[in-house]
Amino acid sequence: MPSLAGLFFWMNRKIENINKIIITKPLKLDCGKTIKNFPLAYETYGKLNENKDNAILVFHALTGDQFVTGTNPVTNKEGWWVTAVGPGKAIDTDKYFVICANVIGGCMGSLGPKDTNPENNQPYGLDFPVITIKDMVKAQESLLEHLGIKKLLCATGGSMGGMQLLQFCATFPDKAFSAIPIACSSSHSAQNIALNELARQAIMADPVWDNGKYVSKNVQPKNGLAVARMVGHISYLSEKGMQEKFGRKLQEKADYEFSFNADFQVESYLRHQGYAFVERFDANSILYITRAMDYFDLSKQYKGGLVEAFKNQDTKFLVISFSSDWLYTTKENKDIVIALNASGADVSYSEILTDKGHDSFLLNEPEFLKTLKGFIDSMYEKFKNEKRI
Amino acid sequence: MKKEFKVIAELLPNNTRVLDVGCGDGSLMNLLKEEKNIEVRGLELNQENVQQCIHKGLPVIQGNAETELHQFPDKSFDYVVLSQTLQAFYNPEEVLKNLLRIGKSVVVSIPNFGYWKVRMKLLFFGEMPVTKTLPNTWYNTPNLHMCTIKDLFKFCYEKNINIKQVVGVNEDKTSLIKKRNLEIKNLFSKLGIFLIG
C-alpha cells in the first residue's frame, strides 16, 4: 500500500484530469463572502439530444461525488449510483443525458478546503468559507448554463442530494420539469445535527487534524475521519437490517479473542468502511459539508414557511421515502408532500417498504427502481408533448 | 370501463380539480384527465396500485385515507371522489367529514346492501350475501360498515349534508334517485352514487 502522502499526490494528479468548468461569475455565499473563478467538477453520461429535453441532473449526497455510474477514475471503484443509473437502468443513459457535479466544499475537483487559497498560497483549511446547500445549488445552476440546458427533464437526489434538489426547485422554480427528492428532509432534524456533530468531533479530536492545517503537511486525520464515517454507516442501516446482516456473527474466528480486535463482523465492517473512506475523502470537506446540511432549513428562507417556498411550482414532484429509514424518516418526507400539496403543486409520493434503512436508495431495491423508472419515463413523454405544443 | 366510472365522470364538470380517494390503479383518474381535462390527484394505500398510477403519469400520494386526509387543505379541490370504500373505514363518518372539508363537493359511491338479491340471500338462506359487487365472504371482507342507499340518504339528512344528486346503477342501467322513488330504487340498484356537499 502506498503511503498516505503518496496516495494524496496520486489522487490530486488524477483529479487534475477530470472534467471541470471554471465559474467566473462571482458567487455571493450565504455567509457573506464571495467566491469567483472557482472550479466546478462534473461528469455526464449519455447524450444530450437535439431538443435538449432529455437532461437529468443528479445531486449527490454527503460523501458522494460526480461519478454516478461506471467506474470512478479516481478510486477505480463503481460509481455510487450504479444501481439506478446506466444503460438500460431506471435512469437509462441510452435515453437520457445525466449530469452530476461535485458540490463546492467537496474534494473531487470542485472548489473545496484542500484547494489553495490565492490570498496566501496555502491550502484553505479552515479559512475556507462556510458554505450552504443554497451555495452548492447556485454553483451547479451555472453548470447548466454552461451546458446550454434551459430546462431539465428531471432533477433528483437522495439524502443531501434531495435537500439540494428541494433548494434548487425553490430557488429556480422554472428549471426542472420534474423532480424526485428521495429520503431527505426540508430541514435538518436535531438527531441529524447531533450525528453530524459526532462526526465532526471525531475528526477534530484527532491530533493530526491540527485545526485543519494537516493538508499542507500532506497527511490526513485518518483515525478521526474513519470514526466519522463509522457513525455515518450506522445511521445508514436499520436496526433490523443490521441484525439480519451481522447478528452476533464473529469475524473469521470460532470464539471471542478476549481482546479489543474486531471480534464481531459488525465491528470489522465498520472498521473496513471507515478506513476505506479516508483514502478517498478529505476530512475538512466532511466538516464543511455536514455544516451545510445542518444549516439547511428551507422554511426559514421564506416568510410563509415551506408552503411559500414551493409557491408557483410547475415542477411535477415525486417524493420517495423508505419505511426503515430513521435518518430521514417517512414523516419528514411526508411533511414535504404536505407542503407541496398545500402550495398546490403536482406531487406524488411513495413509501417503499424495506428493512435496508437510509441506504436503500443506493441499493438494488426493485420496487424503488421500478417507481423511479415509471415516473421518469412518463415525465419524458409529457415533457416532449409539452415542448411540441 | 366500469359503468360506475362513466356515471362519476358525467357528474363532474370539465376543467375542474378532483381528488380521487382510493384511486386504485388510476383508471378513473385517467378517464377524467383524458376526457374532461380534469386536474386529478389520487390517494392510494396499495404500493402496486401507486406504482401503476406513477407509470401512467398520474399524480398519486401513497397513504391511508383513514388517517392521512389531514394533509389536504380546506376546499383545495372542486370535487373529492370516494368510490366504493366508505364502508371499509373504521370511522366512515369522520372520513366523510374530512372529504367535505377538502372538497367543495363530494362524490361517494356505495355498494347497496338494500339490493334485492342481497336481501333475499339473508332473508331466505340466512347467509351473509356474496354478490358481484360484494364478492367477499363474511370472514375476509374488508367491509366493516355496510349500508343501503336509504341509510346514506338518512345519514345526510341527519347530519345536514346537502344532497345534490343521487344516481342508482344496475349493470348498464342508471336512474336518478329522489325521495319519492327511494324505496323502489333502494331495492333495485346495485350501486348508489351520491353527489353531496
The DSSP-derived string for A138-160 is HHHHHHHHHHT-SSEEEEEEETH
A185 part of the active site = no
Provide CB contacts within 8 A for A253, sequence distance 6+. A263
pLDDT tens profile A200-254: 999 999 999 999 999 999 999 999 999 999 999 999 999 999 999 999 999 999 9
* Residue B60 with chain A: CB contacts under 8 Å: 348-349
Residue A373 pLDDT greater than 50, yes or no: yes
The DSSP-derived string for B111-166 is E-TTSHHHHHIIIII-S----SSS-S-TTT---SS---HHHHHHHHHHTTPPEEEE
Residue A156 pLDDT greater than 80, yes or no: yes
- Low-confidence stretches of chain B (pLDDT < 50) are none
Classify A351 as helix, strand or coil. Answer: strand
Give the pLDDT of residue A9. Answer: 52
A358 part of the active site = yes
- Under the banding of pLDDT at 50, 70 and 90, the label for residue A387 is confident
The mean per-residue pLDDT over the stretch A12-29 comes to 85
> Distance from B27 to chain A by nearest Cα, in Å?
16
> What percent of chain A clears pLDDT 70, i.e. is strictly above it?
96
- Asked if the Cβ–Cβ distance from A350 to B47 is below 8 Å, we say yes
- Asked if the Cβ–Cβ distance from A347 to B63 is below 8 Å, we say no
- Asked if the Cβ–Cβ distance from B54 to A375 is below 8 Å, we say yes
In Å, what is the CA distance from B85 to each residue of A186, A320, B59?
Answer: 33, 26, 20
Nearest CA in chain A to B70: A338
What is the C-alpha separation between A326 and A236, in angstroms, rounded? 8
Q: Choosing from A188, A358, A359, A360, which is the catalytic residue? A: A358
Interface of A with B (CB under 8 A): 316, 318, 334, 337-338, 341-342, 344, 346-353, 367, 370-371, 374-375, 377-379, 381-382
Give the pLDDT of residue A39. Answer: 97
- Under the banding of pLDDT at 50, 70 and 90, the label for residue A386 is confident
What is the C-alpha separation between A5 and A11, in angstroms, rounded? 10
Residue A8 pLDDT greater than 90, yes or no: no
pLDDT tens profile A74-83: 999 999 999 9
Give the pLDDT of residue A14. Answer: 64
Burial of A302 (0-12, 13-18, 19+ CB in 10 A): middle
Picking from A342, A353, A382, the nearest residue to B57 by CB comes out as A382
Class of domain A4-189+298-388: alpha beta
> Distance from A239 to chain B by nearest Cα, in Å?
23
Say what the ipTM of the complex is: 0.90
The whole-model pTM stands at 0.94
> What percent of chain A clears pLDDT 90, i.e. is strictly above it?
92
- Asked if the Cβ–Cβ distance from B54 to A318 is below 8 Å, we say yes
- Asked if the Cβ–Cβ distance from A350 to B57 is below 8 Å, we say no
With CA atoms as reference, report the closest residue to A158 among A224, A85, A76. Answer: A85
Give the pLDDT of residue B2. Answer: 86
Q: Which CATH number fits domain B3-113+146-196: 3.40.250.10, 3.90.1300.10, 3.40.50.150, 3.40.640.10?
A: 3.40.50.150
- Asked if the Cβ–Cβ distance from A341 to B50 is below 8 Å, we say no
pLDDT tens profile B17-59: 999 999 999 999 999 999 999 999 999 999 999 999 999 999 9
A146 part of the active site = no
The mean per-residue pLDDT over the stretch A314-327 comes to 97
Give the pLDDT of residue A12. Answer: 57
Give the pLDDT of residue A350. Answer: 97
Rounded to the nearest integer, the mean pLDDT of chain A is 94
